Structure 1
Amino acid sequence: MVKKVISTDKAPAAIGPYVQGVDLGNMLFASGQIPLDPVTGQMATSIEEQTKQSLANVKAIVTVAGYQINNIVKTTIFLADMNDFAAVNAIYESFFTENNAAFPARSCVQVAKIPKDAKVEIEVIAVK
Structure 2
Amino acid sequence: MDRRLISTGSPFEKTAGYSRAVVQGDWCFVAGTTGYDYATMTMPESVEDQARNCLATIGRALAEGGFSFADVVRAHYYVTDRAFVNRVYPILGETFGDIRPAATMVVCDLAEPEMKIEIEVTALRRDQKGG
Aligned pair 1:37/2:34, yes or no? Answer: no
SS of 2:121 mapped into structure 1 = strand
* Contact preservation (8 Å) 1:80, 1:114: no
Displacement after TM superposition at 1:39 (Å): 0.7
Q: Which runs of 5+ in 2 are unaligned?
A: 126-131
SS of 1:31 mapped into structure 2 = strand
> Structure 2 matches for 1:58-77, cutoff 5 A?
58-77=58-77
Q: How many residues align?
A: 123
Letter of the 1:114 counterpart: A
Structure 2 Cα separation of the partners of residues 91 and 114 of structure 1: 23
> Structure 2 matches for 1:1-20, cutoff 5 A?
1-9=1-9, 12-13=10-11, 14=13, 16-20=16-20
**101, 104, 109: which one pairs with 2:101?**
104
Structure 2 Cα separation of the partners of residues 49 and 62 of structure 1: 20
Structure 2 Cα separation of the partners of residues 8 and 65 of structure 1: 12
Matched residues, percent identical? 26
Q: Which runs of 5+ in 1 are unaligned?
A: none
Q: TM-score, normalised by structure 1?
A: 0.88
